[in-house]
Structure 1
Amino acid sequence: MTKTIRMLDEHDYPYYKAMDTGFEFDYIKYVFNALVHENNRLYGLFIDDQLVSVGGYSLYAGIYVMLGRLRSDRRFMGNGFSTEIASHVMHEALNINGIRWVGGNTQEHNMSAQRVLEKIGLVPYITMYGALTKDTTVLESGAEPWQPITNPERKKEWLHQTYIQTGAIFPYECYYSFPASAELFQNEELKQWSFYENPEKTRFLITKYDQKKHHYLHAVYPWHDITSQSGLWETIATDYQKPLQQTNEETYIWMDLTKEKTRNLPANHPFELPSPWILYGKEIN
Structure 2
Amino acid sequence: MNQVLQVKTLTVDDIYSLQAMETGIEDDYVVRIFERLVTSEDHRLFGLFHDKQMLSVAGYSLFGRKQFAMLGRLRSDQRYLAKGHATYLLSAIISELHTSSGIRWLGANTHIGNLPARRVLGKLGLDQGPVSHYLTLKRPDFLTGHTKGRVWRPVHTLEEKRKLLQAVKSNALGTFPYECYYPFPYDEAFFTDQYLGDSSFYISPDHQRFIIIKNDTKKYDYSHVKYFWDDHYEQPGFFETVLEHWGQNPGNAGCWIDFSPLGFKNIPDLTPYDVQDPWILYGQWVKTSF
Measured against the shorter chain, the TM-score band is over 0.9
The one-character-per-residue Cα deviations of 1:67-95 (angstroms, maximum 9, x if unpaired) are 11111000010110000011011112222
Q: How many residues align?
A: 281
2:45 paired with 1:39:
no
CA distance in 1, matches of 2:147, 2:173: 32
- 232-241 or 75-84, which deviates more: 232-241
* Residues 113-128 of structure 1: pairs in structure 2 closer than 5 A: 113-128=117-132
| 8 Å contact kept, 1:193–1:208 | yes
Give the C-alpha shift of residue 175 in structure 1: 0.6
Match of residue 244 from structure 1: 250
Q: Work out the percentage of aligned pairs sharing the same amino acid.
A: 36
TM-score, normalization by structure 1: 0.93
- 113-122 or 252-261, which deviates more: 252-261
- Going from structure 1 to structure 2, the CA distance change for 1:19 and 1:244 (only over 3 Å counts) comes to farther
Q: Which letter does structure 1 place at the counterpart of 2:34?
A: F
2:282 paired with 1:280:
yes
| 8 Å contact kept, 1:141–1:231 | yes
Aligned partner of 1:111 among 109, 115, 121 = 115
Give the C-alpha shift of residue 130 in structure 1: 1.2
Match of residue 212 from structure 1: 218
Q: Which letter does structure 1 place at the counterpart of 2:113?
A: H
Aligned partner of 1:80 among 71, 84, 97 = 84
| 8 Å contact kept, 1:149–1:197 | yes
| 8 Å contact kept, 1:44–1:85 | yes
- Going from structure 1 to structure 2, the CA distance change for 1:177 and 1:195 (only over 3 Å counts) comes to same
Aligned partner of 1:30 among 24, 29, 32 = 32
- Going from structure 1 to structure 2, the CA distance change for 1:166 and 1:278 (only over 3 Å counts) comes to closer
CA distance in 2, matches of 1:14, 1:242: 43
- Going from structure 1 to structure 2, the CA distance change for 1:199 and 1:174 (only over 3 Å counts) comes to same
Aligned partner of 2:184 among 169, 175, 178 = 178
- Going from structure 1 to structure 2, the CA distance change for 1:28 and 1:268 (only over 3 Å counts) comes to closer
- Going from structure 1 to structure 2, the CA distance change for 1:57 and 1:10 (only over 3 Å counts) comes to same
Q: Secondary structure at the match of 2:48?
A: strand
2:96 paired with 1:96:
no
Give the C-alpha shift of residue 141 in structure 1: 5.1
Give the C-alpha shift of residue 144 in structure 1: 2.0
* Residues 154-193 of structure 1: pairs in structure 2 closer than 5 A: 154-163=160-169, 168-193=174-199
CA distance in 1, matches of 2:270, 2:277: 19
Give the C-alpha shift of residue 252 in structure 1: 2.3
- Going from structure 1 to structure 2, the CA distance change for 1:79 and 1:165 (only over 3 Å counts) comes to closer
Q: Which letter does structure 1 place at the counterpart of 2:47?
A: G
Give the C-alpha shift of residue 24 in structure 1: 3.6
- Going from structure 1 to structure 2, the CA distance change for 1:168 and 1:153 (only over 3 Å counts) comes to farther
| 8 Å contact kept, 2:204–2:210 | yes
CA distance in 1, matches of 2:273, 2:27: 22
Give the C-alpha shift of residue 129 in structure 1: 1.2
The one-character-per-residue Cα deviations of 1:201-253 (angstroms, maximum 9, x if unpaired) are 110000001111221110000011011111111111111134433x6xxx121
The ranges of structure 1 where at least 4 consecutive aligned residues each deviate by more than 3 angstroms after the TM superposition are 139-142, 164-168
Match of residue 264 from structure 2: 262
| 8 Å contact kept, 1:220–1:256 | yes
Gaps of 5+ in 2: none
| 8 Å contact kept, 1:167–1:180 | no
2:43 paired with 1:7:
no
